[in-house]
Structure 1
Amino acid sequence: MCRWLAYTGNPIQLETVVFRAKHSLIDQSLHSRMGATTTNGDGFGIGWYGQPHEAPFLYRSVSPAWHDRNLREAARAIRSPLFIAHIRAATETPVQETNCHPFRHNRWLFAHNGLIRDFHALRRDLMLSIDPALFGAIEGSTDSEVMFYLALTYGLEQQPVAALERMAGRIEQIAAGHGVENPLNMTVCATDGEQVVAVRYSSEHQSRTLFHSTSFKHLHELYPHDPRISAVGEDAFLVLSEPLVDLHDAWEAIPESTAVVARRGSITQQAFAPRVRS
């Protein structure tokens, strides 16, 4: 369906992971090895942070990522300590710029791979669950953007994991009322420039793939002359749909129904369980 990655660590050029790696995001846009679709050519987006406490920047396009010359130039020019990149394979919604990930609200960015099943039947009730104060900020027509604004409604800016659990719980609650089984399949990422929160969850417990990098300190010791590793620093962290390089001990699969939070070199995992807001 889609492929995405998020990076936090020393400032690096975006092209390091978007273009240069053997199985870079550009390679995955044409030759995904683990996705539901091999080709992800229905647009792309990058969101990145510059100076501390500033809102993130966005560059999104409906062009296939491999075909956009401006993306290559931008990825070479931009250096950032935290960014998200996403390539899209559209399901039931149009190919248009406002449907490209990541989505932005104030300091938060959000990206998603997966779907809400029978979204067309659930869409009205889901959108009515969004805080009216946020409703006017919705620009596109995807299930992913609705998920983002539901999470914001339920407190993403204060308690990210709990808000994502409430978002998932509300989707499953509404789906049950419509007789939709196994409505939610997602790997999602949310960040405010200080922390990266990633979740792997699906109602049927058969989620899309999601990995995170292992200790870069350990990798520095194993591969002291690899410039890809030395540039990012020991506290770097990558979470991504599928590995970028075939490097032993570099990646760890995120378990089913798990949330991962990375913040200033600290990485924690916890069980993820949808909950209905009380």
Structure 2
Amino acid sequence: MCRWAAYRGNPLYLEELVSSPAHSLIEQSHCASRAKTATNGDGFGIAWYGDHPEPGRYRDILPAWSDCNLRSLAHQIRSPLFLAHVRAATNGGTRRDNCHPFVHGRWSFMHNGQIAGFDRIRRRMEGHLSDDLFHARTGTTDSEMLFLLAQEFGMAGDPLGAVSRAIGTIEQLAAEHEVSTLVRFTAAFSDGNALYAIRYATDHRPPTLYAAPMGGGYCLVSEPLNDDVDAWMEIPDGSAVMVSDAGMTIAPFAPVALAEAA
């Protein structure tokens, strides 16, 4: 399982999530406390929004704790909205194209979890993609495929609904082809305006997700960044989170297959 942190609010330096806190994302890359594996050393990535609609991005296959540039970049880059991720690979080899966050146009996306039997339904998932989105894929992970599937299902106009349709379709494909129907999905994504997150699992055992006020906005994380447990609220299973100018809202989330949505 991976670890990630996301933020939307007044501009902050990335180091305030990535490297400075006692239990920063770099610390979690080699000493995670609320994951099945303590080490998340299969690469890392950050995506941030600035003066352009599309996000900037930096990824590498080195463990976050050993990259000599990450702390320097986090000390210098200031942004009102960013996503950061440290990877423990479940699908796809250790290569830069498989490191989160994934980016398409103005959207950025990162995921902690898995699609059981992904190799057995990958071709059928690809069949739902337009030519443009099929050729936009650069890596081999289930996470990137799910992101592109959500793009296909209308992420630009209905972000949470598109993810709901993507997960529902994956579960439907798995059931139709007698593959273990299990999706574990705790993810964050953004279009540079609002920040979204979802915590869901077919078996009701999703990876963790916490939220806390920070910098005139909110921080969403896999694990609290410090020991102030009262400051961090655990987001329940089956929830969708949106952080915008209006603050943070939490709503129920459930997948819906395309046949049901029609």
Q: TM tier, shorter chain?
A: over 0.9
Alignment of 1:86-125 (within 5 A): 86-125=85-124
Report how many aligned residue pairs link the two structures.
259
Alignment-derived partner of residue 46 in structure 1: 46
Matched position secondary structure for 1:90: coil
Distance in 1 between residues matched to 2:2 and 2:94, nearest whole Å = 13
Give 1:105's aligned amino acid.
Answer: H
Give 2:115's aligned amino acid.
Answer: I
Contact 2:2–2:40 at 8 Å: present in 1 too?
yes
Contact 2:23–2:224 at 8 Å: present in 1 too?
yes
Name which of 233, 243, 246 aligns with 1:252. 233
Distance in 2 between residues matched to 1:265 and 1:84, nearest whole Å = 20
Distance in 1 between residues matched to 2:32 and 2:230, nearest whole Å = 21
Alignment-derived partner of residue 223 in structure 1: none
Alignment-derived partner of residue 146 in structure 1: 145
Give 1:84's aligned amino acid.
Answer: L
Name which of 226, 243, 251 aligns with 1:270. 251
Contact 1:6–1:240 at 8 Å: present in 2 too?
yes
Distance in 2 between residues matched to 1:111 and 1:252, nearest whole Å = 20
Matched position secondary structure for 2:132: helix
Distance in 2 between residues matched to 1:106 and 1:144, nearest whole Å = 17
TM-score (norm 1): 0.91
Give 2:81's aligned amino acid.
Answer: L
Alignment-derived partner of residue 3 in structure 1: 3
Distance in 2 between residues matched to 1:41 and 1:4, nearest whole Å = 13
The answer to whether residue 137 in structure 2 is matched with residue 156 in structure 1 is no
Distance in 2 between residues matched to 1:255 and 1:203, nearest whole Å = 14
Contact 2:53–2:106 at 8 Å: present in 1 too?
yes
Contact 2:91–2:140 at 8 Å: present in 1 too?
no
CA RMSD of aligned residues (A): 1.1
Report % sequence identity.
46
Q: Which runs of 5+ in 2 are unaligned?
A: none
Tell me the CA shift for residue 181 of structure 1: 2.8
Alignment-derived partner of residue 13 in structure 1: 13
Q: CA offsets per residue over residues 14-61 of structure 1, 9 Å max, x none? A: 11111110110011000100012110000000000012x521100000
Distance in 1 between residues matched to 2:41 and 2:92, nearest whole Å = 14
Matched position secondary structure for 1:20: coil
Tell me the CA shift for residue 246 of structure 1: 1.1
Distance in 2 between residues matched to 1:180 and 1:250, nearest whole Å = 40
Q: Which runs of 5+ in 1 are unaligned?
A: 217-228
TM-score (norm 2): 0.96
